[in-house]
Amino acid sequence: MFLTELEKELFEDAEIGTLSMSLPQAAFIASGVDSTQLKPYMRTFFDMTTDLRNHVKGYDQVKNAEVIFDWLWKTKPNRYELEGNFRLTQVVDAYLDEKERVGNCLGLTMLYNSLAQALNLPMKAAHLDNFMGRPHVFSMLYTETSMIPIENIFRDGFDYDQHKHNPQLVEWDNIHLIADLYNSRANEEGDDELRMKRDLLLSYALQTHITQDSD
């Protein structure tokens, strides 16, 4: 299995079962950028985060998470596209240009979680095998007192009631989002090596889960 130099950094970081690398950096790498493209994309993401900081006030995590959600929807009110962009590179490009559509559920969740984590919000993701007839991923905010599902494909998706107390919900960390990005690329490109990269990341995550359970 061939790994680029950037991917070697990503997979070495992931060996412990979690990612210490930031989500946007990992997602840009998994999207297929090379070393000359990564820095400009990270700079663009930093600029987005800087702009967003001007709208986020105080220390209320739920309120700040909703501010991010509203900011994204006000900027691109028709942002969801079924089978749309899932690579974070594509999503950021679409967000910044004049296109109405930004991404699919994975792409929108990747963008939202990347921004929220950059602003120090305790953000995870969640996966459902079947939501409206297809696999689905969305964001989850975990505070000390509550769990807030954030459905990125709907304008009214903040604190989305339908996802609450769903026994089919599977919590995802950043490593699972990156694995799913590789899976989406494998499906699109028909590349078995991309699927192997997905499987390797999931094996790292599973090993950590098994270790935690044994403790």
What pLDDT sits at residue 211?
A: 45
What pLDDT sits at residue 207?
A: 80
Distance, CA of 74 to CA of 204 (rounded, Å): 38
pLDDT-derived band at 208, boundaries 50, 70, 90: low
Q: Centre a 10 Å sphere on the Cβ of residue 35 and count the other Cβ atoms it contains.
A: 10
The overall average pLDDT reported for the chain is: 94
Q: Among candidates 174, 124, 176, which has minimal Cα distance to 150?
A: 124
CA 4 to chain centre: 21
> Taking the model in full, what pTM does it have?
0.94
What pLDDT sits at residue 209?
A: 54
CATH number at residue 9: 3.10.620
Distance, CA of 1 to CA of 197 (rounded, Å): 8
Number of folded domains that form the chain: 1
What pLDDT sits at residue 214?
A: 42
> Running DSSP on this structure, what letter comes out for residue 91?
H
List pLDDT tens digits, range 31-47: 999 999 999 999 999 99
Exposed / middle / buried, residue 101 (Cβ in 10 Å: 0-12, 13-18, 19+): middle
HSE-up of residue 111 (Cα within 13 Å, Cβ side): 34
CA 196 to chain centre: 20
Q: Among candidates 30, 26, 24, 17, which has minimal Cα distance to 201?
A: 17
Q: Among candidates 70, 118, 76, 110, which has minimal Cα distance to 90?
A: 110
Domain of residue 20 covers 5-214
Residue 212 has pLDDT above 80, yes or no: no
Tokens of residue 49, six digits: 């985060």
Angle between helix 192-214 and helix 174-189 axes, rounded to 10 deg = 160
Distance, CA of 36 to CA of 189 (rounded, Å): 23
What pLDDT sits at residue 46?
A: 97
Instruction: Give the type of residue at 198.
Output: R
Asked if residues 185 and 194 have their Cβ atoms less than 8 Å apart, the reply is: yes
pLDDT-derived band at 155, boundaries 50, 70, 90: very high
List pLDDT tens digits, range 55-114: 998 889 999 999 999 999 999 999 999 999 999 999 999 999 988 999 999 999 999 999
Instruction: Give the type of residue at 92.
Output: V
Q: Among candidates 178, 194, 204, 187, which has minimal Cα distance to 24?
A: 178
Q: What percent of the chain has pLDDT over 90?
A: 90
